[in-house]
Amino acid sequence: MDNIRFVLVMAMLMISYMLWESWQIDYGPKPQAIISDKPLVAGSNQTATSANPSQTDGSQQNPAVTVAQTGKVITIKTDVYALEIDTEGGTLRNLDLLQYPHEIENTYVNKAYALIGMQAPERNLSPVRLFDSNPEHLFLAQSGLVASGDSASAPDHHAQFNSDKTSYELQAGQDELSVPLTWTNEQGLSITKTFTFKRGSYVIDVAQKVSNQTDKPWSGRQYNQLLRIEHSDKNNNNFIRTFSGGVIYTEKEKFQKVKYEEMADGNLETTTQGGWTGFIQHYFASAWIPPADQENHFYTKALNDARFVIGSYSQDANIQPNSEGLFKAQMFVGPKIQPIMEAVTPGLELTVDYSWLTIIAKPIYWLLNKIYSFVGNWGLAILGVTFTIKALFFKLSKASFQSMAKMRKIQPRLKELQERYADDRQKFNTEMMAMYKREKVNPLGGCLPMLVQIPVFISLYWVLIETVEIRQADFALWIQDLSAQDPFYLLPILYGITMKIQQSLNPAPIDPLQAQMMKMFPIVFTVFFLFFPSGLVVYWICNNSLSIIQQWYITKHVLEGDSHAH
């Protein structure tokens, strides 16, 4: 068994699994959401499945309907956001990430189409929208208060707030923007819900100030939740599947993913100190972060029309007559940039999902970031990581290539043995093992060193897939988006050539059928790589090229060294 054959078999198994997983997602059974007429979770004392316990008129609100039945809409614009706040409940909706368009123009592609007299395909240059009031893409951030016992009613996410202005914009030279909403009931309870946006920040501060002017103490809690329909990246590469669904972080269990199917199967109920809840998708995350010093109850719920809720509520707070209380929370909504997320709250950076390979992938990401800080180009940073990993595994690779060189040297004699004992398989195996022993050749020597490197290769693969900084990052010439496939398919072809050259340096299988199959591998993998992100293909071309140089030198050295010795 030689090195390249082992790697190719492993790669084929991985790709087969990815294709099966892709088929399951596209055509497998879908989770059936629990049909419920009750409002969403907010944690009243009466029930853990009611997000609107203050609603006592018996009406049953449908969040998908309430989107159309909004109050006044307040538009907000900062340097990173364009969004709306609905005065009905102070719900965040229609949030666009201004620095992250869906697609970018490729000047080389445009010039190529112009040369042949055709119009280049239209690109969706609009910014990525996370929160969305469109029922087909429903995604909302809701918050509110729930009164306990016989305390005066408080505003939930269906209550009508008032606002002095309908538009706010972060002006030049302004570092912070506050948007206050007010609510008052006839009993003397006043609530001011304030959203605070900071320049360059993907964190929104939310404060709910309770002014109790009633004649008795008020007791209640705050809740924060995300409501969305089941999401999948429809425009995502069919060969690359990333997790989309709920996530929570607790003091005990740390980071956990909550699939839509799990929400449909049953409600999550857990209590923790601090922590956070959210939804993630490829490259982007949204999370409610309650104060770290308070105990919070996390919950999920599946509703009809494939709508899902994840959120948290606090412990009860008591506010005496003629005094005030303050409930605070933060919301992160934006790109999954790990250094930024690490500074927000513990564990938020884990939304960049490397799964069980996190312990290896995080150092690789750190190295990628460090190299980028020097070279200023993510493509060059990928090449730098490739060189570094190759250098770290130089001795292992050397042992592997030396073993293959020795195998190549005895290949003609193995073929003679096979012809001589064509009718006696047992005798052939005995003579072959004897030859291995005489020549000091380990048939597994080419595989074992590679086996150690496989987790690193897979980790690097996920780093390149999950790193939002590589999304739409320019490399050189026509490669103007390292997260997209090569528009001219030149990189996959170059990869196929390097794979063929590397294959020619390896000993060919003795079995003619295996030899024919091996010859097909460069073509098969070239076809696969046509649909892979350019950044991944750049890595494999560089890795193959370095391997070719190393393998050629070692093969030549071993063969010539042995011939001179004799």
pLDDT at 316 over 70: yes
Q: How far is CA 81 from the centre of its chain?
A: 21
326 three-class SS: strand
Look up residue 423 and give its two tokens.
Answer: 């009718």
Angle at 286 between CA 282 and CA 292, to 5 degrees: 130
Look up residue 488 and give its two tokens.
Answer: 């001219």
H helices, E strands: number in the chain? 14, 19
Measured in degrees and rounded to the nearest 5, phi and psi for residue 207 equal -125, 130
Residue 35 lies in a domain: no
pLDDT bucket at 187, cuts 50 / 70 / 90? confident
Cα separation, 219 vs 222, in Å, equals 11
Closest to 249 in 3D by CA, of 209, 202, 287, 196: 287
The predicted pLDDT at position 507 comes to 61
pLDDT bucket at 40, cuts 50 / 70 / 90? very low
Q: How far is CA 505 from the centre of its chain?
A: 37
The predicted pLDDT at position 268 comes to 86
* pTM across the whole model: 0.80
pLDDT at 198 over 90: yes
CA dist 311 → 325, 495, 497 (Å): 22, 46, 51
323 and 388 in a single domain? The answer is no
The predicted pLDDT at position 519 comes to 78
pLDDT at 10 over 60: no
Closest to 85 in 3D by CA, of 153, 32, 163, 33: 163
Look up residue 524 and give its two tokens.
Answer: 């098969």
- Residue where a domain terminates, one of 326, 351, 376: 351
Residue 502's domain comprises 361-565
335 and 385 in a single domain? The answer is no
Question: Is the separation of the CB atoms in 499 and 541 below 8 Å?
Answer: no
156 and 191 in a single domain? The answer is yes
Residue 254 sits in a domain whose CATH number is 2.70.98.90
Q: Which amino acid is at 412?
A: P
Residue 26 lies in a domain: no
Residue 27 lies in a domain: no
553 and 428 in a single domain? The answer is yes
Of 413 and 274, the structure prediction assigns the larger pLDDT to: 274
Question: What would the mean pLDDT of 376-381 be, rounded to a whole number?
Answer: 94
pLDDT at 565 over 80: no
Radius of gyration of the chain (CA): 30
The predicted pLDDT at position 33 comes to 36
Question: What would the mean pLDDT of 71-87 be, rounded to a whole number?
Answer: 93
- The span from the first CA to the last CA of the chain, in angstroms, equals 27
pLDDT in tens, 109-160: 888 888 988 888 888 899 999 999 999 999 999 999 999 888 888 999 999 9
pLDDT at 197 over 80: yes
Question: Is the separation of the CB atoms in 312 and 299 below 8 Å?
Answer: yes
Question: What would the mean pLDDT of 465-477 be, rounded to a whole number?
Answer: 91
Residue 552 lies in a domain: yes
pLDDT at 366 over 70: yes
Report the percentage of the chain scoring pLDDT > 70: 77
Beta bridge partners, 311, equal 225, 299
70 and 152 in a single domain? The answer is yes
Residue with tokens 């469109």: 134
Q: Picking from 309-323, 351-365, 430-444, 450-464, which range would have the lowest pLDDT averaged per residue?
A: 430-444
Question: What would the mean pLDDT of 72-98 be, rounded to a whole number?
Answer: 95
The predicted pLDDT at position 346 comes to 92
Q: Picking from 5-14, 60-69, 192-201, which range would have the lowest pLDDT averaged per residue?
A: 60-69
pLDDT in tens, 381-407: 999 999 998 888 877 777 666 666 667
Look up residue 46 and give its two tokens.
Answer: 């009466």
The predicted pLDDT at position 502 comes to 81
Cα separation, 527 vs 188, in Å, equals 70
Cα separation, 308 vs 232, in Å, equals 13
Sign of the dihedral through C-alpha 480, 482, 486, 491: positive
Of 268 and 23, the structure prediction assigns the larger pLDDT to: 268
265 and 368 in a single domain? The answer is no
Strands annotated E in 455-561: none
Residue 254 lies in a domain: yes
408 and 307 in a single domain? The answer is no
Closest to 286 in 3D by CA, of 190, 207, 197, 204: 204
pLDDT bucket at 23, cuts 50 / 70 / 90? very low
H or E stretch including 226?
A: strand 218-229
276 and 197 in a single domain? The answer is yes
Residue 471 lies in a domain: yes
Measured in degrees and rounded to the nearest 5, phi and psi for residue 193 equal -100, 120
Look up residue 402 and give its two tokens.
Answer: 């030396």
CA dist 132 → 84, 97, 298 (Å): 10, 12, 23
Sign of the dihedral through C-alpha 167, 169, 174, 176: positive
pLDDT at 286 over 70: yes
Q: Mean pLDDT, the chain, as a whole number? A: 81
- Residue where a domain terminates, one of 317, 351, 385: 351
Residue 516 lies in a domain: yes
- Residue where a domain terminates, one of 318, 351, 384: 351
Rounded to 5, what percent of the chain is helix, strand, coil? 40, 25, 35
Residue with tokens 């005489």: 438
321 and 369 in a single domain? The answer is no
Total domains in the chain come to 2
Question: Is the separation of the CB atoms in 156 and 54 below 8 Å?
Answer: yes
Angle at 294 between CA 289 and CA 300, to 5 degrees: 50
Alpha helices, DSSP H only, in 260-377? 260-265, 338-344, 358-375
pLDDT at 222 over 70: yes
pLDDT in tens, 233-254: 655 555 567 889 999 999 888 9
340 and 367 in a single domain? The answer is no
Of 78 and 533, the structure prediction assigns the larger pLDDT to: 78
Cα separation, 308 vs 34, in Å, equals 10
Cα separation, 429 vs 510, in Å, equals 13
Cα separation, 536 vs 290, in Å, equals 38
Assign 3-class secondary structure to 106-152: CHHHHHHHHHCCCCCCCCCCCEEECCECCHHHCEEEEEEEEECCCCC
Residue 12 lies in a domain: no
322 and 400 in a single domain? The answer is no
- DSSP assigned state of 14: H
332 and 421 in a single domain? The answer is no
